[in-house]
Amino acid sequence: MRVLNPVYARPGDTVIVGIQADALVLYSLLAYLLPLIGMLLAAVLGGGLLSLLGIQGEAGVVLAAVVGLLGSLRLANKLGSRSMSGKGFQPVILRHRDQVIYSTLMPSP
């Protein structure tokens, strides 16, 4: 994964990485919702197709669900890697882990 490095961190440095809220929501939907919808849709369509062909049993529906899950995971991977090329969705190194944040040192009134 590539990240923007405005603090000039070097390999081996421990850093805090940030990502925009929009990107976090998008990647969460791609990682969780898209595969679930793909699996369910493939299971329903596979079950309907098998019943039209006169084939009974759950093995075909399970196989269709697995194929739908794998296909939607691949689609999510492609969509996620395409959106990573945009600067708005790219993670950024915010600071070194040991760097002091001054707002946490001063108690608020």
pLDDT at residue 81 greater than cutoff 90 = no
With a pLDDT cut of 70, the percent of the chain lying above it is 87
What pLDDT is attached to residue 66?
Answer: 96
108 pLDDT higher than 80: no
Per-domain boundaries in the chain: 1-19+91-109, 22-90
Six-digit token string for 78: 């492609």
Handedness of CA 26, 28, 33, 38 (dihedral sign): positive
Q: Are 44 and 68 a contacting pair, CB within 8 Å?
A: no
pLDDT band at 32 (very low <50, low <70, confident <90, very high): very high
- Distance between CA atoms of residues 59 and 67, nearest Å: 12
Helix, strand, or coil (residue 62): helix
pTM of the complete model: 0.68
Structure tokens at 57: 């049993």
Number of C-alpha atoms within 13 angstroms, CB side, residue 74?
6
Report whether pLDDT(35) > 80. yes
